[in-house]
Structure 1
C-alpha cells in the first residue's frame, strides 16, 4: 500500500507538479481512503518527503551499480552521475523534473537535494573532488535541463555526443 501511494504521488508530481500532490488526489489515485493514506504518512509533507527520499534512493542504487562496474576509480561518481542524468527514461525524467523544478519554491525539497548531493560528494571525495569533475556534473545538469525544455527533441542538443564528451572529460 505504501509503495502504491508513493507511485501515485510520483505520477501526479510528474504530470502536474509537486504542488498538485494532495492527500485527496493521491488517495483517490491509489483507490484508498484518506485514512488509509494517513496510516502510512502523517500528512502531505510526510508523503512528499517520502516520495523525494524514494527518488533519491533509486538514484543512489543506479549510481552505485554504475560505479561498481567502473574500472577507473578517478571520476567514477561523476561518470555515473552523467550516465544517470542523461539516460533516464521518460517516466523517471518527468518525476525528476517535477522534483527539481520545485527546488526554487519548495525549500524542504531543495534542502533534501542539497543534503543528498553533499553526502555523495563527501563519500566520493577521494575520486571526484576536482573542480574539473564538478564542472562536468554541472554541464550534465545543464544538458538534462535542456532536455526538459525540449532542446533535445528539437535537435538543438546532440545528447549522445554531449554525454560521450562529458564522460571523456572525466579521465
Structure 2
C-alpha cells in the first residue's frame, strides 16, 4: 500500500499561519489570539504550527516583522514615484498612514500598536526600524519631516479613536503634513 503525502511547502505553510494569525488578531486582538484559533484558521496541526513558530510570542514577533515588511514595500513604491528626494520618506509615511485601504491603515496595525505598548521588544524593533529609515533617507534631525510623521501618527490614532478629521479638514491636514516634509524647521 502506498501512502500519498502532500509535498512539503514550508514557506507556503508559514504564510498560511501568518495570514490566519493576522485574521484572528484583527477580529479578536492579539491578546485573544490563541494557538488553537490560528491552527484552525490556517488548517494546520499544533505540530505544524510549532515547527514554524516555537511560541505564540514568536508568532506575534513574526507577524509584526511581516507587517513592517509590507509597510516598507509600500513606502518604497511611494518613494519611487516621488521625484523630490528631500523628505520623500516622510511624505510616503504620511500618505501610507492617512490613505484608506493602504498598508498603513491595515487593521493589523491597531493590534500591533497596542502590543507595542506592552512589549518592549516590539517597541524597540519599531523604533530601530524607523530611526534607521529616517537616517538612511537623510531626514534625521530635520524638524519638518519629523513633525509631519508625528502629525500623521496623531491623525492615525485619532482615526482609531473615532475623533479624526474628515472631508476638507482632513485633506487640508494631510496637505499641511506633506508641506512640512519640505521644510527644515517651523
Provide TM-score, normalisation by structure 1.
0.89
Alpha-carbon distance change, 157 to 55 in structure 1, aligned in 2, over 3 angstroms: farther
Q: Structure 2 CA distance, aligned partners of 1:141 and 1:160?
A: 15
- Which deviations, in whole Å up to 9, do the C-alpha atoms of 1:52-85 show, x marking residues without a partner? 0000000000111111111111110110000111
Q: Against the structure 1 CA distance between its residues 156 and 103, is the aligned structure 2 distance closer, same or farther, given a 3 Å change threshold?
A: farther
| Matching of residue 83 in structure 1 with residue 105 in structure 2 | no
State the TM-score, normalized to the length of structure 2: 0.83
What is residue 180 of structure 2 aligned with on the other side?
A: 169
Which sits farther off after the overlay, 48-57 or 89-98? 89-98
Match for residue 117 of structure 1 among 113, 116, 130: 130
Higher RCO (CA 8 Å, separation ≥ 6 residues): 1
TM-fit CA distance, 1:156: 9.1
Cα gap change, 1:155 to 1:127, in 2 (>3 Å): closer
**Cα deviation, residue 24, structure 1:** 1.4
For residues 35-74 of structure 1, the aligned pairs below 5 Å read: 35-74=47-86
Task: Identify if the C-alpha distance between structure 1 residues 121 and 90 changes in structure 2 by more than 3 Å, giving closer, same or farther.
Answer: closer
Change beyond 3 A, Cα 1:85–1:31: same
Deviation string, structure 1 residues 22-50 (Cα, Å, up to 9, x no partner): 21121112121111111211111111111
The answer to whether the 8 A contact 1:15-1:94 is kept is no
Q: Equivalent residue for 1:99?
A: 112
Deviating more after overlay: 82-91 vs 21-30: 82-91
Paired residues, number? 169
Listed as ranges, the matches of 1:6-21 within 5 Å are: 6-21=18-33
Larger radius of gyration: 2
Q: Which runs of structure 1 show a deviation greater than 6 angstroms over 4 or more consecutive aligned residues?
A: none
Aligned to 2:44: 32
Q: Which runs of 5+ in 1 are unaligned?
A: none
Q: State the Cα RMSD in Å.
A: 2.0
2:155 corresponds, among 143, 147, 150, to: 143
